[in-house]
Amino acid sequence: MRPFQSLERTDPLLYGQMAGYIRFRKKLLFTFELPERGLSELAEKGVYVAGSFNDWNPLEEGKQWRLQRTRLNGIEIAALRIPEDKIDISQTFTFKFQAGDGAWLDVSQSAPNAVFDENGACNLEFHPDRTGQHIFTFAVGENYETDGQEQVIWSSEEGEEIRHLPPTHTFLELHSDAELGALPSRKGTTFRIFAPRANRVVVEFQQDPSMSNPEKLELAGPTDGIWEGSVGRNLEKWFYHYRVHGESPDTSTRFNPDMAILDPYAKAAYSRSGPGIILGDSFFPKGGVDPGFTPPRWDDLVICECHLRDLLARVPDPMKEEDRLGYSGLAKWVRSGHSYLHELGINAVELQPIQEFDSQSKEEYHWGYMPVNYFSPESTYAKHPEKASQVEEFRDLVRAMHEQEFTVILDVVYNHIGEPNNLLFLDKYYYFHLNTHHYLMNWSGCGNDLRTDAPMVRRIIIESLIHLVEQYGVDGFRFDLADLVGKPTLMAIEAALKERFPHLILISEPWSFRGHLADALKDTGWASWNDGYRDFLSEYVRGTSNRDAACYFLAGSPHSRTEWPAQTVNYSESHDDYCWLDRITENPDHEGWSPTPSDRRRTHLMAAFLFASLGIPMISAGQDALRTKGGIHNTYQRGDLNAIDYERRTYYSGTANYFAQWTRLRLSPVGRLLRPGKHRDNYLSFSGPENSSAIACLYNADQADGEDQMLFAINPHLEPAMIPLPHRSPAHEWIQIADQERVNRGGLEGALHRINANGIYLPALSCGLWRT
């Protein structure tokens, strides 16, 4: 116990910076700290306060809710003083700040008054008793290190009161730059782990993975939250785990020394539960590996989303059963030069997660969206995980992909943790978002949400991504439920990785059960899966959408969502939810096993629209063969339904070939006008008949990219359409290179759609592509 050296009331502005308001008796001051980045732009737009007191629509009422730019105590803020007759400050209410262009300004989830509404929106809460003058600052003298377990004892004549101090924003700012993990060298092995509120940490290590009789080492600490210890031997290839002890005076901690904890920085794991494997320079050369490959520019990508085992399970070629389960089998098949990926014609593979996840056995099928370690490649995909063979096997798979000119994008999950949840036993509060009762938040739908804005969590994310690029040659990442990662962390990731790897591909799945941030990422270097495009396209080919939406999505979702076309990843099917055919089939109960002729034709229209759209096209593996999952909406863990049916590709070979030829056209010099690289006001010219969603689109309408032009037309209705030619369409003859059944870059022969000065005549459920 140590007495206060000083105790004084804190400047109310400190609370105002965190909570968004200060209360002065009968007046209320809303405060918003202006960010350094984008300060002038935001100041010009204006910052407004919204709440039930103005029906959450401050812009409609003019400037009375606009905060004024000012400086308080040397800090640049926007502030608005509200008299008592404007808002009832005797009651609790929620509020939020909004920019003058209508964009909602993010609320830090670490704010002391951050609350979530029933829709998952994070708002700020005004409480009458929390005025900004209710906070005290105390000093305890020099050489005191916070451990997040402080108690305050208040003694007076009336008695003594003891209160456990909850972790504060200061605790969440705790960080260290010390290298973490198990670090072997010729002189010995050092262990470091971040567990800021633990009171004892023991590392156990042994030469075999049973860990039945391990050696033990007590670590010293914590210093800046880090526990550290060294052994005077090189323990490379040994196995290890941690035992973490601590007090749990409240539910913000969950220490359990009986839990063998897999090091979050372990570079390989024997299984989902560990132990970790100590690996050094012989596995990971300093400076990393040279991938010998540079991915194409984003506009030149055509992506196939696929699962490693779905690709291999039913490959018709002779293959050992063991090879159908992991990295080495896929590498062999890719190197053969006649894999499904080659036939499809794509140039980028987006692999579903391969970071260590919570599969319980080698035989268990798992999508991979429940990660337990971010540095280790999945152990059940390796032939000899006890030898850490997953390191070289995964590295060789990436190498094989590059040899065949495939870009490798990994699906990564940095929004939640699977089982066993090792981070939970290191520090529940620091690593995870909790509600006011210290229950785990669950906007991921997977039981917990990582606190990605905490410095050491953000550090795990960034350093594991760098590790995957530097040591394995990965070309890019797709972030699962990126809304939960948050824009500030996504921007930090972009800054850290693009500085070192300028060609890196960054894609977000920009939603969660809490919200959606695709529009907010427009001013960043991130692309995003376009769920609006997905939903639109399934409606459009059935004739139920409209021409304006078709023009918007064909143009690459400009203005609101993208600064340049390749910021939108256009797709109609992914691993989640119904597959494309089951979604649009005319058969009852979403059963796509026997598609109708119209189902097949609409699938061709979808493919044509997808590949003709500006942006990055993505298809899901098997989609080109009229894939069905039997009408089942969620096929999580259903390897029997998710595996690609290669016999179906033979049966529907015309559809498979249609996709493949469109892919090749898109990537060829003939298709260059479909991937212009930037938005230009007069690049596209649209037209369409009245009372119809049929459209025609002229590419390079302004001929700023040379004299070549392309013309695409589509009719999603069950009756013919005469579509007028778009403005600036040339009078010379067009060469038709695609319709609803055929694609030929040199030109189709016979049975051509009619095109003349009156327009383009398209039969029902048909399309066409022409070039000059």
207 phi/psi in degrees, rounded to 5 = -85, -10
pLDDT number for residue 105? 87
Taking residues 404-416, report their average pLDDT. Answer: 98
Taking residues 737-751, report their average pLDDT. Answer: 96
Q: Tokens 């439920």 label which residue?
A: 481
Between CA 558 and CA 565 the distance in angstroms is 7
Measured at the CA of 490, the angle between CA 484 and CA 492, to 5 degrees, comes to 135
Q: Would you place residue 40 in the very low, low, confident or very high pLDDT band (cuts 50, 70, 90)? A: low
- In this predicted structure, the answer to whether residue 483 has a pLDDT above a threshold of 70 is yes
**Cβ–Cβ < 8 Å for 133, 95:** no
Q: Would you place residue 146 in the very low, low, confident or very high pLDDT band (cuts 50, 70, 90)? A: low
Instruction: Write out the two tokens for 737.
Output: 């290179």
pLDDT tens, residue by residue, 221-258 = 999 999 999 999 999 999 999 999 998 878 889 999 99
Taking residues 9-27, report their average pLDDT. Answer: 86
Taking residues 30-40, report their average pLDDT. Answer: 72
Least Cα distance to 43 among 100, 83, 116, 105 occurs for 100
pLDDT number for residue 582? 96
Q: Would you place residue 151 in the very low, low, confident or very high pLDDT band (cuts 50, 70, 90)? A: confident
- Range name among 118-127, 458-467, 488-497, 564-573 with the lowest pLDDT average: 118-127
What is the phi-psi region of residue 148: left when phi exceeds 0, alpha when psi lies from -120 to 50, beta otherwise? Answer: left
Between CA 593 and CA 585 the distance in angstroms is 10
In sequence order, the 6+-apart residues with CB closer than 8 A to the CB of 757 are 725, 731
**Cβ–Cβ < 8 Å for 34, 77:** yes
Burial label for 19, CB within 10 Å (0-12, 13-18, 19+), is buried
Which amino acid, residue 299? D
Q: Tokens 């609790």 label which residue?
A: 92
Identify the three-state secondary structure at position 387: helix
pLDDT number for residue 148? 64
Torsion of Cα atoms, 565 then 570 then 576 then 582, to 10°: 170
Between CA 312 and CA 124 the distance in angstroms is 50
**For the whole model, what pTM was predicted?**
0.86
Q: Would you place residue 538 in the very low, low, confident or very high pLDDT band (cuts 50, 70, 90)? A: very high
Q: Tokens 């409240």 label which residue?
A: 250
Between CA 147 and CA 38 the distance in angstroms is 36
pLDDT tens, residue by residue, 709-735 = 999 999 999 999 999 999 888 867 899
pLDDT number for residue 415? 97
Instruction: Kindly list the structural domains of the chain, giving each domain's residue range(s) and its CATH number in brackets, ordered by start.
Output: 6-136 (2.60.40.10)
pLDDT tens, residue by residue, 52-99 = 999 999 998 878 999 998 887 777 888 999 887 788 888 999 999 998
Percent of all residues in the chain with a pLDDT value above 70, rounded to a whole number: 97
Q: What is the DSSP letter of 325?
A: G
Measured at the CA of 73, the angle between CA 68 and CA 75, to 5 degrees, comes to 55
Torsion of Cα atoms, 306 then 307 then 312 then 316, to 10°: -40
pLDDT number for residue 707? 92
Distance from first CA to last CA of the chain, Å, rounded? Answer: 84
pLDDT number for residue 149? 67
Taking residues 176-186, report their average pLDDT. Answer: 97
**CA 463 to chain centroid:** 16
pLDDT number for residue 2? 65
Percent of all residues in the chain with a pLDDT value above 90, rounded to a whole number: 78
- Range name among 634-638, 650-654, 738-742 with the lowest pLDDT average: 634-638
Q: What average pLDDT does the structure give for the chain?
A: 93
**Cβ–Cβ < 8 Å for 398, 291:** yes
pLDDT number for residue 299? 96
- In this predicted structure, the answer to whether residue 261 has a pLDDT above a threshold of 80 is yes
Taking residues 486-501, report their average pLDDT. Answer: 96
Between CA 753 and CA 767 the distance in angstroms is 9
